[in-house]
Amino acid sequence: MFSGLIPAFPTPLNPDSSIDESALERIVCYQIEKGASGLVALGGTGEATALSASARKRVIQITVSAAAKRVPVIAGVLDSGFGGALDTGLLYREAGADGLMVIPPYYSRPDQDGVLRYFRALAPELRLPIIFYDNPYRSQIITTPATIARMEQERLIIGMKASNTDLYHLDVLSKLVSDDFSLLSGQDTLFVQQVILGAKGGVLTSAALLPDYWANVQTLAETGRVQEALAAQAMLNPLMDALFNEPFPESVRQAFAMLGLPIGRSLPPVGPLSQAGEARLRSALEALIDARILHRIR
């Protein structure tokens, strides 16, 4: 159901921390016009956990309206427990989301049976396609390939975002799920490797800046031109280092500002970039512009 390059993008904000609606419309259209296959609003990049419920609902409404059915809109459900996740998922369904990306309940840190109970309780209530958000770094939960495959078999989820550097985990999972399972890379730095192991696309933060380039990398990997794909991915390593080695997602916000689309500052507790980090980010962007990989936003 979901495949190709699906950027996870930051939420544009005004100086008073309200939603910058015009900038949100612009960033949505920019990504679609650059070849995005879908959009993930309000993931970690979108700072979902820092925004109020009313603000998050408005983000989905605007994103859905601006996307105008050109691509599906997936909304991130990053709540720590059942009640919050249920309320959030229903809010997003009412706002028009086409699917949900749901993280397991990280505060309670359940075992495998607990993860199954959680999604068995959520899925029938939400009644939208669910992408399982596998992010052990954030959730502190290791969900086994067998558990994830079981969730697909029970029709609780239709795919997974693999924000996980464990390639063996993804390799095992790819052999347990069906051909219809939307297995998606969530690791910008390992995208090619995850595609080789069976990912059908990716929910990538850096794809918010250049989805067309990443789509070409995916095509190279899928058609057996692995060395070319790896070389193309490596061209983005300085950018990815700059994006992920500083307070996140402030680095992504500043990247958009440097390209000509200011979208405000991150909310607390995220702070500004260091001077060295800002210089590193600017240098990485300028190198990609000079190489005609990236273009300023006009």
Helices 53-67, 21-33: axis angle to 10 degrees equals 40
Residue ranges making up the domain that contains 174: 4-223
d(CA 225, CA 218): 10
Residue 14 maps to a domain: yes
pLDDT score of 234? 98
According to the model, what pLDDT value does residue 35 have?
A: 96
Per-residue pLDDT at 247: 87
Answer whether 106's CB lies under 8 Å from 80's CB. Answer: yes
CB 253 within 8 A of CB 266: yes
Task: Say if 244 falls within a structural domain.
Answer: no
The answer to whether position 268 is within a domain reads no
Token digits of residue 250: 């402030």
262 domain residue, yes or no: no
Rounded distance between C-alpha atoms, residue 250 and residue 265, angstroms: 6
Residue recorded with tokens 């939208």: 128
- How far is Cα 19 from Cα 61, in angstroms, rounded to an integer? 12
In the chain the beta strands, taken as DSSP E runs, fall at 4-5, 39-41, 73-77, 99-102, 130-134, 159-162, 182-185, 201-202
Q: 288 in a domain, yes or no?
A: no
Q: What is the CATH number of the domain that holds 199?
A: 3.20.20.70
| Cα Rg of the chain, angstroms | 18
Tens-digit pLDDT string for the chain (298 aa): 799 999 999 999 999 999 999 999 999 999 999 999 999 999 999 999 999 999 999 999 999 999 999 999 999 999 999 999 999 999 999 999 999 999 999 999 999 999 999 999 999 999 999 999 999 999 999 999 999 999 999 999 999 999 999 999 999 999 999 999 999 999 999 999 999 999 999 999 999 999 999 999 999 999 999 999 999 999 999 999 999 998 899 999 999 999 999 999 999 999 999 999 999 999 999 999 999 999 999 8
DSSP-based three-state secondary structure for 5 = strand
Burial class (CB in 10 A: 0-12, 13-18, 19+), 68: exposed
User: Could you give the residue numbers annotated as active site?
Assistant: 133, 161
In the three-class reduction of DSSP (H, G, I as helix; E, B as strand; rest coil), residue 7 is classed as coil
Domain count, the chain: 1
Domain assignment present for 55: yes
Report the distance separating Cα 285 and Cα 289, nearest Å.
Answer: 6
- The answer to whether position 156 is within a domain reads yes
Instruction: Answer whether residue 289 is part of any domain.
Output: no
